[in-house]
Chain A
């Protein structure tokens, strides 16, 4: 099942889904950068996590309701975990909602 915004940014790693599959978070490669992205499969929007240039994302975890994102980064050779609040950015994807089927919306963000 192709993901609109991920296709040209390979390889991917550390995928994380919200409750009903509306949001997919993953790490992708763009040039020499490792980016943390969240794709909204209902609206087609793409959200990029702002990380300082000296931080490299290693692993992430999206909370099932899509309220928070935890990112493991390396900074100066040391691992850290940082938490981000997504509530002002994303509608929650609550349990019992409608599962998202297919590859998501094709509209531009």
Chain B
């Protein structure tokens, strides 16, 4: 029977209100809210510690969906910023954020990064129709 991981679950409880979990390797990415503000959180499940993500979270952005690769290096994020929804890729070692264009244009929702970080799948609404795009990542 699956066993709850009590220490980590307690840790998550203490962090705040959490949603949209994404597991890969030793990493758990999720969207965590406290005091009315949500942000992306990356937890190292071996050390039970949150990892700093400089340059990823913005006070004026609303995260929608997040995913991490098995190395904990790449994080794909759908977020709303200045009235637009965008898909971005964060590289942790470089602390860089790269927009990924939707072609043709559309509104992204859920994103899932392949465990090796080489491609992602994203739900996109185009003209009221939900589609899934696969995007290769260089």
Contact = CB atoms under 8 A, between A and B. Distances in A.
B21 interface: yes
Interface string A57-73: 01111111100111110
Contact of A63 (B1, B23, B116): B23
B53 interface: no
Contact of A64 (B2, B24, B28): B24
Contact of A82 (B12, B17, B24, B116): B12
A50 B1 contact: yes
A64 B70 contact: yes
Nearest to B21: A70
Interface in A84-107: 84-86, 88-89, 95
26 contacts: A50-B1, A50-B2, A59-B19, A61-B21, A64-B23, A64-B24, A64-B70, A64-B115, A68-B5, A69-B2, A70-B22, A81-B18, A81-B28, A81-B30, A82-B4, A82-B9, A83-B4, A83-B28, A84-B4, A85-B2, A85-B4, A85-B5, A86-B2, A88-B3, A89-B2, A95-B70
Interface residues of B, number: 24
Interface of A: 19, 47, 49-50, 58-65, 68-72, 78-86, 88-89, 95
User: Which 10 pairs across A and B sit closest by C-beta, in order of nearness?
Assistant: A70-B21, A84-B2, A64-B115, A63-B23, A81-B18, A83-B5, A79-B19, A61-B23, A85-B3, A81-B21
Contacts of A80: 12-13, 17-18
Contacts of A71: 21
B45 interface: yes
A32 B5 CA distance: 27
